[in-house]
Amino acid sequence: MEKSLPSPSHAAYQRRAIPLRRRAILPALAALACFLVIVYGFAFGQGIDFWRAYTRDNLSVEAAAAVARCRSLRAKPGPPSDFAKRTQSDRYVPGTKPILIKNAKIWTGEKNGTEVITADILLDKGVIKGIGQTTRKVLSAFKDDIEVIDAKNAWVTPGIVDLHSHLGDASSPELDGASGDDNSLKGPILPWLRALDGLNTHDDAYALSISGGVTTALVLPGSANAIGGQGFTIKLRKTAERSPSSMLLEPPYQINSSFPDIDGPMRWRQMKHACGENPSRVYGNTRMDNVWAFREAYNKAREIKTAQDAYCTKVEEGRFEDIVQTPFPQDLQWEALVDILRGRVKVQIHCYETVDLDDIVRLSNEFQFPIAAFHHAHEAYLVPGLLKQAYGHPPAVAMFATNARYKREAYRGSEFAPRVLAQHGLKVVMKSDHPVLDSRYLLYEAQQAYLYGLPENLAIAAVTSTPAEIMGMSHRIGFVKEGYDADLVIWDSHPLALGATPIQVFIDGIPQIAEAYVTRKPEAFQRTPEVPNFDDEAKAAVEYEGLPPLEPKKSDAETVVFTNVKSVFTRSGSDVNEVYMAATTEDLRTVVVTNGKITAINEDALHFPANAHVVNLRGGSISPGLTTFGSPLGLVEIDAEDSTNDGLVFDPLVQRVPSIMGGDAALVRAVDGLQFGGRNALLAYRSGVLKAITAPVGARFYAGLSTTFATGALNKLDEDAVIQDVNAVHVTVRHFGSTPSVSTQIGTLRRLLLHPPNGDAGQWFKDVSEGKTTLVVDTDSADIIATLILLKREVEEKSGKKIQLTITGGLEAHLLAKELGEAQIGVIQIQARPFPATWERRRILPGHPLSEESSIQVLLKHNVTVGVGILEAWNARNARFDIGWLAIDAGGDISRAKAMAIGSTNIETLLGGKVGAAVAEDLVATEGGDLLDFGSKVIAVLSPRRESVNLL
């Protein structure tokens, strides 16, 4: 433990440089100046307190420094008192042109996020100079040196603020020895680490996230440690200096000194904590061990604080003789924790479950420090009262919208959590945990929270003003307000409308998007989106502690009649067709369903049997169910819990396969491991995703045979639970590190196709080379895809048959769209919105606003059959938004029917699905819009197979 008296003479010496310049100006007063220099230097270096103490009380230099230091311990962080009067931002880049944004519809963040005004916004010197009507006088003041942008009544919000990001520390594409720079493995308690020290300035995601409107992010250390270290707030734009330090927003004073500079102004610091599974897993701890680690660390900090306070009591009582021989008690390793106990750090805690929240609330009371926010906090909505017992004030809760169930801690997560927490008066933040979720789409999290019931004002605030407040920056960001940082987004639609895309993003008054590509959207997109009523579902989520029953209920009535139907789509072969589309509200129809089958589409709403069950769709729709692929849905229930999962297949390319199962000749079938009734599957079903195609889970090259199953089935023996036993043969060709090499994987594939071995696997690969079975290769790299195109040619030349090959992943496939079209190789892009997570995915086509077309559009243009898929099972439920968003972005290029095909029939065709007769396919009824509309709700499934209708 390092202990030392502050060295005021040293500090004073360092700062003499400033007054010395004055001496040069006043040479005649050199002698007097010399004296002033010393005295003034002390004052400057140690604060006015020191100066007064020194002169008034005639103290020694050491004693006066001690007085000043002790007083500074009580200083609270925040902006300097004259901050609001600033006329220029500390981040202003000289040369930045003033900008006038005319005719903006501004969500200001004021009045609890309810204030929306139409006005002009003047940006200059990195700050918002004015909001209102522009006068000629204002303009003339700038002569012609001002850029005028007509927003044409477009929505403008503050820049998006991400309260939980690993941008730069877990950078993309991942090229850092695979572990990232955000998690230290040096111990559970590491408050001395700083996220700033790992901030990579070459992360591809900065520009991508800016294109989604993100301007500021709090970069936190990872969650491998109970105390992971200090977080730092950055602005995402490039700086002339190109350094990590130059990206910082109000860096705390400690970044280039060892101990607090007692002059202030004191800035908020950020500290990451994590409880529960992550630190436990890394250190082989139990929750009890973790909490003890916290208590031991905080106890140490408390001891130091107590010693400091005792020291300062002596100082304040003027007992300098008692301290003159005693160094001020402090320790570089523990100073940040001591600062927490002094209430000068925003403590950001990754914490999911009730047990963990309870542990930390008690910790906060035991050591008396407030918690800024619980992050993830999948069970927070179940215990709002517990959160309110935290020391000081209730923590905010920073959440994902629908990302849940990936581990025990997240199993009870609910899409209704934001609304429930807000109803209890708790502050709600939506965060990305980038790259866990791509922060480019952080606004989508707010949109979903709004969809499931978080009020509009709080939903926009959840990614702007609320996170700004929680990180202690609401004096300058998170609002559109005079004097605030010129961080703004001009949107192409209402920010809560699905697919809202920035037309321009300003950071410190600097435009960030050189040329924005956006679609002209229908007028309705400018209004607050209508959303369904989920009151009953939200209530059930709490009542059942996150596990409300999800099983569908069969309608008793033989005939179910849907009234006020706006559109009907059905499948025909491998296409989706629009059967009916009402041009106006007067053209809404009545659809009669008997034994699960559409028997009539009537103009006359009264034309149905008297004993029928009637459901008003209020302008809704009937359309084919969607199909999900890409995640292990059906084989995995809780990703991180092996006991809930099928497990991994053996891979003959990297290990010995037991001879009892056939050795190398074995090919595993996903159908043999299927589990039914899982929550991800049932939620998918309730969101209109009626089928899943799942391949066995392999760690490397080998996977096996995929299967198609019904997401709504509860038991494998249910009628139609398994729709197709075997779909296709799946392998993966990727960069797995050193072995097996890509060339080894391709060589193996060539051998399997040209010289199929004996046994089961050989037979399947023989079928592939004869065009009887589809081969699905999971890969993203354009180079690997090109090699596969050549391999396909080679095999076809030898066999004389056309082989059916599908690429899944395919993020770089757009680079070979023409060649893929010619080779008739289809692509299931995973995921719908690309992200360059790894080197072999780095050449993504980003889509709006950065590129005119999306990769899907490029592939479609070249007649490539395209589907979209997902990586994780929780995301299956969002398929309708994935394809709806694609259709919105593509303008008229992708019709609703085509989008539905991209999310259903195309996927099945590409994965060797025996696309059934139209009559046998289940349909989905949605209320208040069609399946692709953000504001619609899936309320029934029509099943001709089961001859019934399920009501949800």
| CB of residue 686 to ligand NAG, shortest distance in Å | 27
| CB of residue 70 to ligand NAG, shortest distance in Å | 21
| CB of residue 868 to ligand NAG, shortest distance in Å | 20
Kindly report the number of other CB atoms within 10 A of residue 48's CB atom: 12
| CB of residue 425 to ligand NAG, shortest distance in Å | 7
CA 780 → CA 153, 733, 809, 833, distances in Å? Answer: 41, 9, 5, 14
| CB of residue 235 to ligand NAG, shortest distance in Å | 13
Nearer to ligand NAG, 254 or 804 (CB): 254
Cα–Cα distance measured from residue 363 to residue 351, given in angstroms and rounded to the nearest whole number = 13
Cα–Cα distance measured from residue 147 to residue 207, given in angstroms and rounded to the nearest whole number = 23
| CB of residue 462 to ligand NAG, shortest distance in Å | 11
| CB of residue 246 to ligand NAG, shortest distance in Å | 7
CA 134 → CA 118, 141, 153, distances in Å? Answer: 12, 12, 15
| C-alpha triplet 41, 42, 45: angle, nearest 5° | 80
Nearer to ligand NAG, 251 or 652 (CB): 251
Nearer to ligand NAG, 655 or 863 (CB): 863
| CB of residue 826 to ligand NAG, shortest distance in Å | 14
Nearer to ligand NAG, 408 or 861 (CB): 861
| CB of residue 514 to ligand NAG, shortest distance in Å | 28
The string of DSSP letters for 275-318 reads -SHHHHHHHT--HHHHHHHHHHHHHHHHHHHHHHHHHHHHHHTT
Nearer to ligand NAG, 55 or 743 (CB): 55
| CB of residue 821 to ligand NAG, shortest distance in Å | 5
Cα–Cα distance measured from residue 27 to residue 355, given in angstroms and rounded to the nearest whole number = 70
Nearer to ligand NAG, 114 or 602 (CB): 114
Kindly report the number of other CB atoms within 10 A of residue 916's CB atom: 14
CA 274 → CA 116, 183, 185, 399, distances in Å? Answer: 38, 11, 14, 15
| CB of residue 313 to ligand NAG, shortest distance in Å | 23
| Contact (Cβ atoms closer than 8 angstroms) between residue 760 and residue 663 | no
Nearer to ligand NAG, 256 or 585 (CB): 256
Cα–Cα distance measured from residue 282 to residue 226, given in angstroms and rounded to the nearest whole number = 10
DSSP 8-state symbol, 414: -
Q: Reduce the DSSP state of residue 119 to 3 states and report it.
A: strand
Nearer to ligand NAG, 428 or 723 (CB): 428
Nearer to ligand NAG, 239 or 675 (CB): 239
| Contact (Cβ atoms closer than 8 angstroms) between residue 418 and residue 462 | yes
Nearer to ligand NAG, 618 or 861 (CB): 861
What value does the CA radius of gyration of the chain take, rounded to a whole number of Å? 31
| CB of residue 898 to ligand NAG, shortest distance in Å | 13
Left, alpha or beta for 577 (phi > 0: left; psi -120 to 50: alpha)? beta
| CB of residue 95 to ligand NAG, shortest distance in Å | 20
Nearer to ligand NAG, 251 or 343 (CB): 251
| CB of residue 822 to ligand NAG, shortest distance in Å | 7
639 contact partners, CB below 8 Å, separation of at least 6: 405, 406, 407, 632, 645, 872, 873
Residue 932's nearest CA partner among 920, 924, 940 is 924
Query: Which spans of this chain sit near ligand NAG (rule: CB under 6 A)?
Result: 58, 112, 245, 251, 255-256, 455, 457-458, 821, 862-863
Cα–Cα distance measured from residue 760 to residue 663, given in angstroms and rounded to the nearest whole number = 10
Nearer to ligand NAG, 66 or 293 (CB): 66
| CB of residue 535 to ligand NAG, shortest distance in Å | 15
Residue 482's nearest CA partner among 135, 129, 102, 122 is 129
Nearer to ligand NAG, 574 or 838 (CB): 574
| CB of residue 331 to ligand NAG, shortest distance in Å | 22
Pairing of strands 597-602, 589-594: antiparallel
Nearer to ligand NAG, 16 or 613 (CB): 16
Nearer to ligand NAG, 458 or 633 (CB): 458
Nearer to ligand NAG, 109 or 632 (CB): 109
Residue 940's nearest CA partner among 557, 396, 411 is 557
| CB of residue 409 to ligand NAG, shortest distance in Å | 28
Where b means 16+ CB within 10 Å and e means fewer, 62-92 reads: bbbbbbbbbbbbebebbbeeeeeebeebebb
Q: Reduce the DSSP state of residue 753 to 3 states and report it.
A: helix
Cα–Cα distance measured from residue 230 to residue 246, given in angstroms and rounded to the nearest whole number = 17
Phi, psi of 167 (to 5 degrees): -45, 135
127's enclosing H/E stretch is strand 127-132
Count how many residues are written for the chain: 952
Cα–Cα distance measured from residue 878 to residue 856, given in angstroms and rounded to the nearest whole number = 18
Q: Reduce the DSSP state of residue 596 to 3 states and report it.
A: coil
Kindly report the number of other CB atoms within 10 A of residue 527's CB atom: 11
Nearer to ligand NAG, 255 or 918 (CB): 255
